[in-house]
């Protein structure tokens, strides 16, 4: 073939290709969350928790579609040759859950009478359809060194942005004893797709490293159009029934603002713009007609605090997904509302206490005292969602300081881990001289005579601004973080890492007989 013929043939092919491409159109379509998160007869969302002693028991929960009426787990001591294992079978407890997009059964088994410090292999299914075998290792009965990973709020865009944080943390601490989540695992408590994304991030890791979690406000309240009704308080102190009728989001470089319309029962409309933190940025003239408050009396205030907001129509309730997918200790809590949100777990010389900062805070005081008084462990770590010391000027929690902090002080709790504020703040020794306008109690955010360190952290992409920073030793905003904490008999090593794996903050707590912990700032060698 001549050069000219080759050229003509090539030209024809190119023209033909262009012609086909020009007449073919294709646009990607959103894959439905209904399909993306649909349960099947094959188990998914496998997660380990502890309902009883970590040295002699292990709980596991998983999901199937509603056609699977029975759950079965198989367990054996792990061996170098999987085919040589002779597993025992365990019948699961099954709970039906109808979510916003599907129906499913959640199955749960607690393996008991296990040997401490032993590697086990298990799988879950229905007797025919099983998962692969997972490993877990029981705790040691003695006070042996261990590590765990702590995450603040995952909450938003969990699959897109939180997953990499979790996976980077796991790369750094693949032998962690467990992960601890300080609330707001998801944004909408009822959203099955968001819970599905939360499981997708860790994926199989949740099936081999147990989870400890405390609930956040987003595990309690619905934050969606039409999801709730409110009572506002007018200027005379009377209740006004208000319905949320529409909400849209403005994307800004300095944080999102929500355009919200509220309707009074008799039909009056109030339009507002509200920041991510709940601060009212603007309000129209309808506000005064409905409430009696002038705009200048309300703008700049938090919607969910006085003077406008009074109460919610319904008592907040925990997400139905919580107890379906987690098996936490059921202990002698003040009432059933706090079951599996208020509990403690003892692990190799440390007691981990979960409190519920969303509900019944005063009722938890005596329970907390008993949990601290009965603690036989050398270390005490407490977790709850709303921080004792907040880096946000409009996000103070004085009730928690009033009710719980005296007990945290009395028993010299070592470490308190929280979320909620979507920034990072960690207490330590600082000079308060000359500081003004600090909320009551913040001057002793770190008291060397007690030694408790308080941490607020965030692992998801939703960020707030630091507007009250004088109380903290280390602070940062607009940064996703994870924390690795190593504990032995005499020292606790704390490290906070950015999502990229870069070390952000580090300190040691050193146990001293008859004295408060010694806080040592900076970088040190492994324990």
Tell me the pLDDT of the chain (527 aa) as tens digits: 566 566 566 656 655 655 555 556 888 888 888 999 999 999 999 999 999 999 999 999 999 999 999 999 999 999 999 999 999 999 999 999 999 999 999 999 999 999 999 999 999 999 999 999 999 999 999 999 999 999 999 999 999 999 999 999 999 999 999 999 999 999 989 999 999 999 999 999 999 999 999 999 999 976 554 444 567 888 887 878 777 777 777 766 667 788 888 888 767 888 889 887 788 999 998 888 888 888 888 898 888 777 887 554 455 789 999 999 999 999 999 988 899 999 999 999 999 999 999 999 999 999 999 999 999 999 999 999 999 999 987 788 999 999 999 999 999 999 999 999 999 999 998 876 655 566 777 878 999 999 999 999 999 999 999 987 678 899 999 999 999 999 999 999 999 999 999 999 999 999 999 899 999 998 765 44
Answer whether 129's CB lies under 8 Å from 65's CB.
no
C-alpha to C-alpha distances, 457 to 150, 194, 218, 427, 514, nearest whole angstrom: 9, 21, 16, 12, 31
The total number of residues shown for the chain amounts to: 527
pLDDT of residue 227: 45
Total Cβ atoms within 10 A of residue 355: 27
pLDDT of residue 285: 87
Token pair in block for residue 152:
């603040």
Answer whether 33's CB lies under 8 Å from 113's CB.
no
pLDDT of residue 471: 84
In CATH, which superfamily holds the domain spanning 35-137? Purple acid phosphatase-like, N-terminal (2.60.40.380)
User: Cα separation of 472 and 412, whole Å?
Assistant: 19
Secondary structure (3-state) at 440? coil
Q: What angle do CA 353, 358, 360 make, to 5 degrees?
A: 80
Listed in order, the ranges of the chain carrying CATH 3.60.21.10 are 146-221+327-521
pLDDT of residue 361: 95
Fold annotation for 146-221+327-521:
Purple Acid Phosphatase; chain A, domain 2 (3.60.21)
pLDDT of residue 331: 93
Q: What angle do CA 405, 411, 416 make, to 5 degrees?
A: 55
Q: What contacts 304, CB < 8 A, 6 or more positions away?
A: 278
Bridge-based pairing of strands 119-125 and 72-77 is antiparallel
At 23-54, the pLDDT tens digits run: 568 888 888 889 999 999 999 999 999 999 99
pLDDT of residue 226: 42
Listed in order, the ranges of the chain carrying CATH 2.60.40.380 are 35-137
Bridge-based pairing of strands 178-181 and 211-213 is parallel
DSSP labels, 213-272:
E---GGGT---STTS-EEEEE-TTS-EEEEEEEEEEEE--TT--EEEEEEEETTS-EEEE
């Amino acid at each position: 073939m001549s050069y000219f013929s080759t050229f003509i043939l090539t030209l024809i092919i190119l023209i033909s290709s262009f012609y086909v491409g020009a007449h073919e159109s294709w646009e990607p379509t959103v894959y439905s969350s209904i399909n993306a998160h649909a349960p099947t007869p094959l188990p998914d969302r496998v997660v380990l928790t502890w309902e009883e002693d970590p040295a002699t028991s292990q709980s596991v929960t998983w999901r199937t579609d509603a056609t699977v009426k029975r759950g079965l787990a198989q367990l054996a001591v792990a061996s170098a040759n999987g085919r040589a294992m002779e597993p025992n079978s365990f019948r699961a407890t099954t709970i039906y859950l109808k979510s916003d997009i599907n129906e499913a059964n959640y199955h749960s088994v607690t393996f008991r009478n296990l040997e401490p410090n032993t590697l086990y292999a298990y799988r879950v299914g229905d007797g025919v359809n099983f998962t692969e075998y997972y490993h877990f290792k029981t705790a040691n009965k003695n006070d042996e060194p261990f590590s765990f990973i702590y995450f603040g709020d995952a909450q938003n865009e969990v699959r897109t942005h939180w997953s990499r944080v979790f996976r980077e943390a796991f790369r750094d601490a693949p032998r962690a004893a467990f992960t601890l989540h300080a609330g707001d695992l998801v944004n909408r408590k009822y959203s099955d797709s968001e819970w599905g994304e939360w499981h997708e991030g860790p994926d199989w890791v949740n099936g081999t490293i147990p989870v400890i979690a405390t609930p956040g406000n987003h595990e309690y309240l619905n934050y969606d159009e039409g999801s709730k009704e409110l009572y506002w308080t007018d200027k005379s102190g009377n209740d006004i029934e208000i319905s949320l009728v529409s909400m849209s989001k403005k994307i800004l470089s300095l944080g999102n603002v929500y355009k919200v319309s509220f309707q009074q029962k008799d039909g009056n409309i109030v339009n507002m713009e509200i920041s991510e933190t709940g601060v009212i940025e603007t309000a129209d003239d309808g506000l005064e007609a409905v409430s009696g408050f002038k705009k200048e009396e309300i703008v700049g205030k938090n919607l969910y605090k006085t003077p406008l907001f009074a109460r919610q129509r319904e008592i907040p309730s925990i997400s139905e997904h919580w107890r379906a997918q987690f098996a936490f200790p059921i202990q002698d809590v003040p009432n059933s509302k706090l079951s599996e949100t208020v509990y403690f777990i003892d692990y190799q010389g440390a007691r981990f206490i979960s409190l519920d900062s969303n509900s019944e805070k005063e009722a938890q005081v005596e329970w907390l005292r008993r949990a601290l008084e009965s603690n036989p462990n050398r270390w005490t770590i407490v977790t709850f969602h709303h921080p004792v010391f907040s880096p946000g000027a409009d996000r103070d929690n004085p009730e928690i300081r009033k009710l719980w902090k005296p007990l945290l002080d009395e028993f010299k709790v070592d470490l308190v881990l929280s979320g909620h504020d979507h920034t990072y703040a960690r207490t330590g020794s600082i000079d308060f001289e000359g500081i003004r306008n600090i909320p009551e109690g913040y001057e002793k955010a770190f008291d060397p005579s007690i030694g408790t360190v308080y941490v607020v952290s965030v692992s998801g992409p939703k960020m707030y601004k630091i507007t009250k920073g004088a109380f903290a030793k280390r602070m940062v905003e607009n940064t996703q973080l994870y924390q690795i904490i190593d504990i032995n008999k005499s020292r606790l090593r704390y490290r906070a890492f950015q999502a990229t794996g870069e070390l952000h903050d580090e300190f040691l707590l050193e146990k001293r007989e008859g004295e408060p912990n010694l806080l040592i700032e900076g970088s040190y060698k492994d324990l």
